[in-house]
Amino acid sequence: MKYDFTEIEKKWQKYWDDNKTFKTPDLSSGKNIKPKYYALDMFPYPSGDGLHVGHPEGYTATDIIARYKRMKGFSVIHPMGWDAFGLSTEQYAMKMGIHPKIRTAECVARFKQQLKAIGFSYDWEREINTTDEKYYKWTQWIFLKIFNSYYDEAEGRAKPITELKIPEGLSEREKFDFLNSNRLAYLAEVPVNWCPDLATVLSNEEVPEQVEKGYKVIRRNMKQWNLRITKYADRMLKDLDFLDWPNNIKELQRNWIGRSEGASLKFRIKSTVLKEDKFIEVFTTRPDTIFGATYIILAPEHKLVNEITGAENEERITNYRKTAEIKSDLERTELSKEKTGEFTGAFAVNPVNGAEIPILIADYVLASYGTGAIMGVPGHDERDQEFARKLGLEIVPVVIPQEVKTEEEKRIFTENTKNGEVCFSGEGFAINSGFLDGMSTSEAIEEINSHIEKNGIGKKTVSYKLRDWLFSRQRFWGEPFPIIHFEDGTFKALDESELPLTLPDIDSYKQSGTGESPLATIESWVNTVDKESGRKARRETNTMPQWAGSCWYYLRFLDPHNDKIFCDPEKEKLWMPVDLYIGGSEHSVLHLIYARFWYKILYDLGYVSHTEPFKKLFNQGMILGEDGVKMSKSRGNVINPDDVIREFGADSMRLFEMFMGPLEATKPWSTKGIEGLSRFLNRVWRLVTDENTGLVKSNITNEIPELKEKKLLHKTVKKVTEDIEDGDMKFNTAISYLMVMVNEMYKMEKICRSTIENFIILLSPFSPHICEELWEKLGNKNSIQFVSWPLFEQQYIKEDSVTVVFQVNGKIRAKMEVDYDTAEDVLEDHALYNEKILKLIMGKQIIKVITIKNKMVNIVVK
RNA sequence: GCCGAAAUGGCGGAACUGGUAGACGCACUGGACUCAAAAUCCAGCGGGACUUAAAUCCCGUAAGGGUUCGACUCCCUUUUUCGGCACCA
C-alpha cells in the first residue's frame, strides 16, 4: 500500500474530532496538578480570499509546541477564533447588497475548513467570533468599564469613576463636564486622520498602512471617542523589560511610545492686543540652552495664536493657518523641507534673562506633541537653525563642544554658529548662559531645572510621542458604542443590563455621505428613548475600530460560553498569561499595544490577575513567492494551501514550512523543496510498512536495541527535544536530525520496534497524521498525542571516539581518530609524533602547545 | 537622517561558549534497476593548483583592518539588503 496521505489525513482529522482529542483539560477542579500551557495564534481576519501559505506557517509552529507540551505532560489550551469585524467584509457586503453577517459566515466557514485540513490541534469547542453578539456584548461591557473609570495619578492606576472626588459647588452641567474630562474613554473634538476614500477616520497607528495602499489621509477636526492610553505610557514602557519578546519588537514599541525627558518652560507674552498677562508653555529636552532661545514658535493650531495676533498681522496669520490646515501630515512633512512661518506681532520674555523675543507660527511645530509650542534655539537645533536662517533670526551660541579648547577655536566656533555654518546639537559646556556658564550639559540641565522650579517658571516633565487612541470609526460593521446622546448635547452610557446593543438587521445600507457612519441613516435604530428618564435620545452612530475585539479575545478563549461575565476570574488566574503567542510582526505596534493597554485597565479594575497578557511573543517571517518577491494576486505568484495539500498532503506542507528555515526569517516558497519533504515522508512510510502487503515490515523486530541503535535514537531525542524546547523556533534543524536518523535506519538490516516507535513520536508534532497512522499500524490503540515524549539518557549521548585535529600555528595539518575523553597529554604525544606534523615542526622551536580535549592540538612554532 | 535585523556553495539553510566551515534538503553529475521512462536505491558535489589516480597544497563565510595559538563567531571601519520611524523640540 502506497502512502495515501489524502485518506490518512481525512481519517485522523475525523478521529480527532470524534474523540475530542484536543479538548482543553479542566483546571478549575483543583484536581489537575499538571502545569498549564497556553499556546496562542493571532486569530485571523477571515477574508474572502481564504488562507494563503503564510497563515499556516505560524500556526504550524504553535501547533508543534502545543502537541509537544501535551506529550510532556502539560495541560494545554490551544484555541482558534475569528477577528471578523472589518472594512473589507463591509465593502464587499455593500457592493453585493448582502448583510456583512452573511458574508462573514461564508468566510469563516471557508477558513475553518481550510484550517481543519491542515490538522491543527485546536480545541474547536472554544471557537469565538468577535462579530457574534454574545462576544461583542462583552467588548461593549469592557468599553463601559473603561468609560466608567478614571486614572488616579497618585496611585498610578485606573479606578471606577464613582471613586473620583467631585469638587464642591459645581452645577449639574459642570459635574457632567468634570466627570467626562476624567473618564478613560472620552469624546473630544480633536484633529483626526480623515481618509476620504474609506470615508472614515484612522488612528495614528493605522495611517501608514492606508497611505501605502494609495489612500489619501488628511487632517480634520472631528468629535471622536478617544481612549486615554497615554496614561499607561510609562507602565507599558517599563513592563516591556520583563517580557520574553523579540528585541526589535520591544524596540519598536519603545520608539512608538517615544518617551523623552525634558522640561516645560513658561514665557510671558508681551502683546499690544492682550489685556491680561498670559504665558506660553514650551517643551524642551534641552532646558540648558534657554539662554540661546531667540524666538518662540507656536503650532498653527495653537489656542493662543488668535489671541496674540494683532490686526496688522491677522491676514498673513490667517492665510498661513489655512494653508497648514488643508495639508495632510504627509504633505506637511514632505513640503516643509523648506521651512515656513509667520510673525504674530507679539513678543515673549525669556524668563532667565528678560530678553524680548518674537513669537512666530510655523507648521514644523506639531500641535499634538509636547505643548504645541517650542523655544527656538537655532544655535543648537538643526531644525531651528534652518528656520532661523530662512527668516533671518538671530543665532546665539550657548553650548561649546569639548573638543573646542583654544581661544582661537572658540572664536571660530562662535563665529560659525552665529552665521549659521555650524550647528552643534550634542553635549558640551555652557557659554553665554549667565549662571550656567562653564557647566557641562548634564550639570546645566540639573541646575536650570532646579532654578525654574524654584522660581515657578517651569518644571521637569516627560513627554511621549504616543497619543491617545482614537477609538471611533464611521463604519457599520463594528461594535456599536453603548452610548446615547440627548438633545442638550449631554450623553450617557447604557446600563450593563441593556447589553448587547446589537447592529440592526437591514437589507441594504449606504454610506451616509455626511462623514457619519451608515448607522446614522437607519432611523429606527438611531432614535431611542432613555430607559431611566424617558427622554428622547439618539444613539452614538460611530462604531469601534477593528482592534477592539482582539484586545481581549485571549481571555474569552478561557471561558467562551460564560454569559455572566466576560471571563471567570478563577479561570483567568489559572490560565493566564499566554505562554506562547505567535503572529506576524505587522501587529507589533497596533494590536500588541492596544491589547496590553486593555489588559492593564482590566488589571487595575481587578478583573484580571497579571500585569501583562503575553509572556513570550514570536513573529513568524513572511513566505515569499517562488520568484522571491511578496506573494500577490497581481504578480500571480500566490500559492494556495488547498492545492499544496491536494498534491502533497498537509503533513508534507507542515513539515516543509518548518524546514524552510528559522521561523522568523523571510523565505521564498519552493515547489521542489516541498517535493523533498514529501519524499522524506514516503521514506518514513516505507521504513515501517511493506508497500506490497500494507503490513509492518518484517525487519522490525521486538529485540532489545544494540548500543549503536540506542545511541542513534538518544542523540536524535536530545537534538529534537532541545530544538523544540529552546524557544528559538528553529525547527529546520530538528527536522534535519530526524532525516539523519531515517538515513541511518535505512542502512540497518533490522530495526527494533522501540526505536521506530520513538522515532514516530518525535516526528508526530510536525507531521501528526502519518504518525498516527503508523502508530496504529504498529499495534497501538490510543492516539499518539497521549504518549509521553521520550527522554534521553546521557550515557547514550557521548561518542565512543572522536576525530581530533592537529594544527601547526593554527592551520589544520592532520587528523586522528581517538577514544572519547583521551587525556590531553596523550593527545599531545599523538600530535608531536604524527608524521606530517613532525615534518612541519622539524628544526623549529616549539613555543607552546594548546590542547583541547576531544577537539584539537595546536602546536605553535617559530 | 535615526533605530533595529541581516549578508555563509548554483539555491534554502547548518555550525555548541572563539576550536574540523558548508549538517540536512533542493538542484546538478555518475552508476544500479528497467525494453524505456517515472519512482526508488547507491555514490559524488565550495573554488583553484598539481596528478593517470591516490595523495598533497593554496584560496574561501559581503569588503578592509584589528585582537588571538586559533575568528563565520569578538572589536573597529565600509558596502549592500530587509524591516520600522521620520520635523517628536
> What's the CA–C1' distance between A735 and B25, in Å?
10
Q: Is A660's CB less than 7 Å from nucleic acid strand B?
A: yes
3-state secondary structure A233-285: HHHHHHHHCCCECCHHHHHHHHHHHCCEEEEEEEEEEECCCCCCCCEEEEEEC
Neighbouring residues of A855: CB distance < 8 A, sequence distance ≥ 6: A802, A804, A805
Which nucleotide is the nearest neighbour of A386, by CA and C1'? Answer: B87
Quote the pLDDT of residue A31: 66
Q: Is A816's CB less than 7 Å from nucleic acid strand B?
A: no
| Per-residue b or e along A784-817, where b marks 16 or more CB atoms closer than 10 Å to that residue's CB | bbebebbebeeebeeeeebebbbbbeeeebbebe
Which nucleotide is the nearest neighbour of A466, by CA and C1'? Answer: B88
Higher per-residue pLDDT: A766 or A837:
A766
Task: Please state which of the ranges A344-353, A757-766, A769-778 shows the lowest mean pLDDT.
Answer: A344-353
Quote the pLDDT of residue A221: 75
Q: Is A81's CB less than 7 Å from nucleic acid strand B?
A: no
- Strand B contact residues in chain A (449-478), C-beta within 7 Å: 463, 465
Q: Is A380's CB less than 7 Å from nucleic acid strand B?
A: no
With 80 as the cut, is the pLDDT of residue A326 above it? no
- Strand B contact residues in chain A (545-604), C-beta within 7 Å: 585-586, 589
Q: Is A293's CB less than 7 Å from nucleic acid strand B?
A: no
> What's the CA–C1' distance between A358 and B35, in Å?
99
> What's the CA–C1' distance between A338 and B84, in Å?
26
A331 pLDDT tier (thresholds 50, 70, 90): low
Which nucleotide is the nearest neighbour of A808, by CA and C1'? Answer: B69
> What's the CA–C1' distance between A171 and B36, in Å?
100
What structural domains and CATH numbers belong to chain A? Answer: 260-463 (3.90.740.10), 651-796 (1.10.730.10), 801-861 (3.10.20.590)
Quote the pLDDT of residue A394: 92
Chain B bases near protein CB atoms (7 A cut-off)? 3-5, 11-15, 19-21, 23-27, 39-42, 57-58, 69-71, 82-89
Q: Look up the ipTM and state it.
A: 0.94
- Strand B contact residues in chain A (21-80), C-beta within 7 Å: none
pLDDT in tens, A354-380: 999 999 999 889 888 899 999 999 999
Quote the pLDDT of residue A551: 96
Give the integer Cα–Cα distance in Å for A716 and A711: 8
3-state secondary structure A10-73: HHHHHHHHHHCCCCCCCCCCCCCCCCEEEEEECCCCCCCCCCCCHHHHHHHHHHHHHHHHHHCC
Q: Is A323's CB less than 7 Å from nucleic acid strand B?
A: no
Give the integer Cα–Cα distance in Å for A440 and A460: 18
Q: Is A538's CB less than 7 Å from nucleic acid strand B?
A: no
Quote the pLDDT of residue A48: 87
Quote the pLDDT of residue A327: 66
With 70 as the cut, is the pLDDT of residue A529 above it? yes
pLDDT in tens, A458-505: 999 999 999 899 898 888 999 999 999 999 989 999 999 998 999 998
pLDDT in tens, A385-444: 999 998 999 999 999 988 888 899 899 999 999 988 888 888 889 999 999 999 999 999
Which nucleotide is the nearest neighbour of A334, by CA and C1'? Answer: B87
